[in-house]
Structure 1
Amino acid sequence: MSDEGGTSEDGLECRPGEETVALPVAFDAGLYFIGRISTPWTRRADCPKNGRQTDAVCTVRVDPAFVPALQNVEGATHLILLYWMDRAARNLVRQRPRHADGSRGTFSLRSPARPNPVALSVVELIRRDGGTLQVRGLDCLDGTPLVDIKPYYASTDSRPEALVDRSGRGSGSA
């Protein structure tokens, strides 16, 4: 689709400056959802833009087959959750965020609309009860599929020197 806005082949509404592509016919890999996430948000408009914008306590329910993988998870104060934004568009390669003057490449954004809608959040682990985790710091819709859980290590995961050019100018070409 051109970058003039309108409706894409799959019925997705596009803003001026957005661009879609035809997706490949087949997938390259498979994955297993290991559980589901319960949050207070059922509409995208109500969902926070990132997990630091809310104090809501959310519930992560790990499927029974994967509960043994939670052994020792309580040793971490924070976890990295990877989840599948199953209700997001997958064919946008150029997007126009509401806060931006122009379009941006999908891979320069944290938007859930992307070819593989994998999202991540660093969450605070409040408590574990069997296969259920209570966490704070999520930004996804109720019922979102869970892909993975990893401990957050401040010593290796934190990058205080990291910067993002929020102007959108960057050094690459269009």
Structure 2
Amino acid sequence: MSADDPRPGEVTVVRPAATDAGVHFLGRLHTPWLTRQDCPKRGDPQDGPICRVVVDPPWRAALAGLDRYAEVEILYWMHLARRDLVVQRPRSSGLAHGTFALRSPMRPNPISSSVVVLLAVEPDGLMVRGLDCVDGTPLIDIKPLRCPMAPPAAGRQDD
């Protein structure tokens, strides 16, 4: 049994041949982890490694103003994840759960999100702490964390 084979009790489906929408990858995430097995279950925004978010040239102007925030949300495509599991048995519990009841990267649309500490905005991307994905993971979007409890970056004012 390989690491990609379903575990006993897991259920798969046949994925639709066509898609309903298109997604443009905006860049890549660079982390120290080369395989899914190397990745932490959750990123550590306090003590985790510094990671780089590289934004492709057409999208770099969209970084303007992001330096006003102490934290940002990074949305990314878990490109190595299975997409056909509807019931999963996590190793941690061994109990079967529907995919939508889990935070597993194995999903019909493997979109993941991490709230990270923004360390620096650079001309071609960001330096952050708190990611939990494989090196080279495609970037979908970047959003400032603007909830009332989120602090602005030191010395900056939110609009």
The TM-score, its normalising length taken from structure 2, stands at 0.88
1:145 to 118, 138, 143: 138
Gaps of 5+ in 1: 1-5, 158-174
User: Is 1:23 the counterpart of 2:19 in the alignment?
Assistant: no
The answer to whether the Cα contact below 8 Å between 2:63 and 2:125 also exists between their aligned partners in 1 is no
1:55 to 48, 55, 79: 48
State how far apart, in whole Å, the 2-side matches of 1:84 and 1:18 are.
23
The TM-score, its normalising length taken from structure 1, stands at 0.81
Instruction: Give the C-alpha shift of residue 12 in structure 1.
Output: 4.1
Aligned to 1:46: 38
Cα-to-partner distance string for 1:134-169 (whole Å, 9 max, x where unaligned): 000001000000000000123178xxxxxxxxxxxx
Instruction: Give the C-alpha shift of residue 101 in structure 1.
Output: 3.2
Aligned to 1:168: none
Pairing of 1:1-174 with structure 2 (within 5 A): 12-52=4-44, 55-155=48-148
Q: Which has the higher contact order (CA 8 A, sep 6+)?
A: 2
**Secondary structure, counterpart of 1:29 in structure 2:** coil
Number of aligned pairs?
149
Aligned to 1:172: none
Cα-to-partner distance string for 1:90-118 (whole Å, 9 max, x where unaligned): 00000000011311110011111000000
**Secondary structure, counterpart of 2:44 in structure 1:** helix
Gaps of 5+ in 2: 151-159
- Which 4+ stretches in 1 moved above 4 angstroms? none
**Secondary structure, counterpart of 1:155 in structure 2:** coil
State how far apart, in whole Å, the 2-side matches of 1:92 and 1:148 are.
25
